Structure 1
Amino acid sequence: MKEFIAFVIKEGRHILRDKRTMLILFAMPIVLMLLFGFAISTDVRNVRTVVVTSKMSYLTQQKVLQLSQSEYFSIIRHVHTPAEAEQLIRSQKADMAIVFSNEFDSRQGSIQLITDGADPNMAQQYANYASLVLQNAPLHNPITMQLLYNPQMKSSYNFVPGIMGMLLMLICAMMTSISIVKEKERGTMEILLVSPVRPLLIIIAKAVPYLLLAFTVLICILLMSHFVLNVPLAGSLLAIILISSLYILLALSLGLLISTMAKTQLAALIVSAVILLMPSALLSGMMFPVESMPKILQCLSAIMPPTYYIAAMRKLMIMGVSVENAIQEVLVLAGMTAIFLLVALKKFNTRLE
């Protein structure tokens, strides 16, 4: 046990002395959290809005006032015809037009929304936000709408669980695989294997520091998300940490598996980036809903570990449900962990023999 602890301390010192590694481990989470939390945001703010109406009745005034008082819309012009509003949108002077029909004061009245469809995602966002605001204003036949868990529709609620899944996977899998492959590339792995410590314990000793660093990064992400981005931790903090621990173990197992296949650090880096980085960002549901993807991509998403971790974190952090509601994701992650770990250890033992 003393030799094992000595190996853990040795590996920890190597990591702490490597400034580039420390920069990746701690600077990257902070930068990504700030970018996705503030800069890369899908939140709707100050949409330049044109009001189209032939007469400004009391009910129309109430609607326009409701829009102008919200933080989402900025009323820039009042015009009389939809053609005038369309011209303003075409000339990039407005983002959306709200057309009140002539019979709006009656029960047959209606509202038409005109948005710039060149960016369909933002156009849909504008329409959704406008519908939400207008439905909250007085109507002859009011329609109530309630948004659960994220009433202000903040994009950070969606991004933070995704960033957690991507960062923990990259830190644990990529850094672990590169660390082990570096020993093989330098020829020092053979020296370590003839030491009094069993080969399997050497590999575990190299993974333990990254395990501890992953927990540190996890705590930093949770603190930043709650106190900087105002993302709630509605569910059990213990459940969040336990499921994250399982996910970290899965990522370490995947990193060990990559290290048994790659012969150089560059190869390990490329494999980690191709297998982990792009799929984690694009196919896990972090940025785009899985349900809207083609069937083939949905199948690829179903074999991505971050897909299940992100889904579980959204349930626990945002929705605040109990861990029983995330049991399916937990079982899938546990199964993947067992498979990756068994395959990695078998390949590692085969190489030793």
Structure 2
Amino acid sequence: MNRFIAFVKKEFLHIFRDYRTMLILFIMPIAQILIFGFAITTEIKDASIAILDKSKDEVTRELTQKLLSSGYFNNDAYLTSESQIEPAFNDQRVKMVVVFEPEFGRNLQKEGTANVQLVCDASDPNQARMLSQFAEGIFASYASQGVVKGIQPEVRMFYNESLEGVYMSIPGIMAMILMLVSAMMTSISITREKEYGSMEVLLISPLKPLQIIMGKVTPYVMMALINAVSILALGYFVFGVPVKGSIILLLMECLLFTILALSLGILISTVAKNQMVAMFMSMFALMLPVILLSGFIFPVENMPLPLRIISNIIPPKWFIIIVKTIMLKGGGLLYVWKETLILIGFVVLFVTLSVKKFKIRLQ
């Protein structure tokens, strides 16, 4: 029995000395609970909307205040015409526009009914549905108080009138596949060289660190692009997801994101000591953030401030915005140049860190 207890103690010491095991046993479950608990929510909080008030009377001002004081909506802008609605959506500024008809209050008083239009960005159909339902509920609650009667909300969905869920899933799936597959394959690539002992041969060769990195990345670029084209083709021909913008621009953005994912994979491989560690880092460090914090499934706007800040360093978030803008909204480079520059910045950062890691190994 004493021998068994001594053996168990040895195993405990072995576990406690391995920080990777401690990370898996204790830190990962806590991180998963916190991220899932805060990120997975169907609540609407401070969603950005715009107001197009053609009446500007006491009733419309009161209804606007009712919307904004509910805690569900945050006013981003006051529009002056319908022509400003689509640019506001393309600029990622607002998710819904509330349009009050002319002489709204007068129509309520004289005719007993008045119209308000809820124009939603349905590139995210779940969020658009929730926004319109929350707004309709606020109008209904306001009318039930006996203040007004006969408010007729009309819901209009931009970019996805039938609220097809696949319009949201195709951009997200593309980002997830390109990120996971590309990063994982490249991270395993170099760690395999380490395990086989051929990495040292590369490090002492005349090739510069940047050349080694580019040589590792290049073969996977074409394979990842084939995946991207396949996803786009399936989305268009099988599921009917439109490509309203430039297909050339879309493919160039896919190429940029592929290079980013491959560069991140190379960076992971320079840190990981073996293939198992590289695979674990790729899965844990990429899968959860891509699914939870990129806006793929759950709206980033509904998350607590710390998670919203963290989401800004999740590259797939910006790629999904780009894909939706080009595919569903027909926007050009003018509407996605900021997100494109962010992705380029990530590429430069990951490549620079990878080269630095190689230089450290050479010293």
Could you say which TM-score interval applies, normalised by the shorter chain? 0.5 to 0.7
Structure 2 partner of 1:324: 334
Q: Determine which of 262, 265, 269 is the counterpart of 2:275.
A: 265
CA distance in 2, matches of 1:145, 1:286: 24
Structure 2 partner of 1:313: 323
Structure 1 partner of 2:265: 255
Instruction: Check whether the contact 2:217–2:263 (CA below 8 A) recurs between aligned residues.
Output: no
CA distance in 2, matches of 1:125, 1:247: 30
Aligned-partner residue type, residue 288 of structure 1: F
* Aligned partner of residue 163 in structure 2, secondary structure: coil
CA distance in 1, matches of 2:216, 2:186: 8
Q: Determine which of 293, 301, 308 is the counterpart of 1:298.
A: 308
Q: 1:197 to 1:155 in 2, by over 3 A?
A: same
1:201 positional shift? 2.9
Structure 2 partner of 1:333: 343
CA distance in 1, matches of 2:264, 2:180: 10
1:206 positional shift? 2.3
CA deviation profile, 1:186-238 (whole Å, cap 9, x unmatched): 21222344556555433322221111100110110110110111111111111
* Aligned partner of residue 297 in structure 1, secondary structure: helix
Aligned-partner residue type, residue 276 of structure 1: L
Structure 2 partner of 1:147: 157
Structure 1 partner of 2:169: 159
CA distance in 1, matches of 2:270, 2:132: 51
Q: 1:279 to 1:325 in 2, by over 3 A?
A: same
Instruction: Check whether the contact 1:171–1:210 (CA below 8 A) recurs between aligned residues.
Output: no
CA distance in 2, matches of 1:146, 1:167: 32
CA distance in 1, matches of 2:319, 2:297: 14
User: Are 1:218 and 2:228 counterparts?
Assistant: yes
Structure 2 partner of 1:172: 182
CA distance in 2, matches of 1:340, 1:126: 37
CA distance in 2, matches of 1:196, 1:333: 31
Instruction: Check whether the contact 2:209–2:358 (CA below 8 A) recurs between aligned residues.
Output: no
1:182 positional shift? 0.6
CA deviation profile, 1:77-118 (whole Å, cap 9, x unmatched): xxxxxxxxxxxxxxxxxxxxxxxxxxxxx958xxxxxxxxxx
Instruction: Check whether the contact 2:203–2:362 (CA below 8 A) recurs between aligned residues.
Output: no
CA distance in 1, matches of 2:257, 2:190: 20
Instruction: Check whether the contact 2:209–2:355 (CA below 8 A) recurs between aligned residues.
Output: no
1:143 positional shift? 4.1
Structure 2 partner of 1:181: 191
Aligned-partner residue type, residue 182 of structure 2: C
The TM-score with structure 1 as length reference comes to 0.60
Aligned-partner residue type, residue 359 of structure 2: N
1:142 positional shift? 5.1
Q: 1:195 to 1:292 in 2, by over 3 A?
A: same
Q: 1:187 to 1:321 in 2, by over 3 A?
A: same
CA deviation profile, 1:10-62 (whole Å, cap 9, x unmatched): xxxxxxxxxxxxxxxxxxxxxxxxxxxxxxxxxxxxxxxxxxxxxxxxxxxxx
CA distance in 1, matches of 2:301, 2:151: 33
1:244 positional shift? 1.3
Aligned-partner residue type, residue 166 of structure 2: S
Instruction: Check whether the contact 2:132–2:155 (CA below 8 A) recurs between aligned residues.
Output: no
CA deviation profile, 1:67-86 (whole Å, cap 9, x unmatched): xxxxxxxxxxxxxxxxxxxx
**Which structure 1 residue ranges, 5 or more long, are not aligned?**
1-105, 109-120, 132-139
Task: State the Cα RMSD in Å.
Answer: 3.0
1:268 positional shift? 0.5
**Which structure 2 residue ranges, 5 or more long, are not aligned?**
1-110, 114-125, 137-149
Structure 2 partner of 1:97: none
The TM-score with structure 2 as length reference comes to 0.58
CA distance in 2, matches of 1:228, 1:217: 16
CA distance in 2, matches of 1:127, 1:197: 58
Aligned-partner residue type, residue 299 of structure 1: I
In the alignment of these two chains, the number of paired residues is 231
Aligned-partner residue type, residue 272 of structure 1: S
CA deviation profile, 1:131-190 (whole Å, cap 9, x unmatched): 7xxxxxxxx875433111000001111111111111111121111010110110121222
Instruction: Check whether the contact 1:177–1:258 (CA below 8 A) recurs between aligned residues.
Output: yes
Instruction: Check whether the contact 1:165–1:306 (CA below 8 A) recurs between aligned residues.
Output: yes
CA distance in 1, matches of 2:167, 2:203: 46
Aligned-partner residue type, residue 317 of structure 2: T
CA distance in 1, matches of 2:319, 2:213: 25
CA distance in 1, matches of 2:328, 2:132: 24
CA deviation profile, 1:258-293 (whole Å, cap 9, x unmatched): 111100111111111111111001100000110011
Structure 2 partner of 1:48: none
Q: 1:126 to 1:262 in 2, by over 3 A?
A: closer
1:243 positional shift? 1.2
Identity %: 41
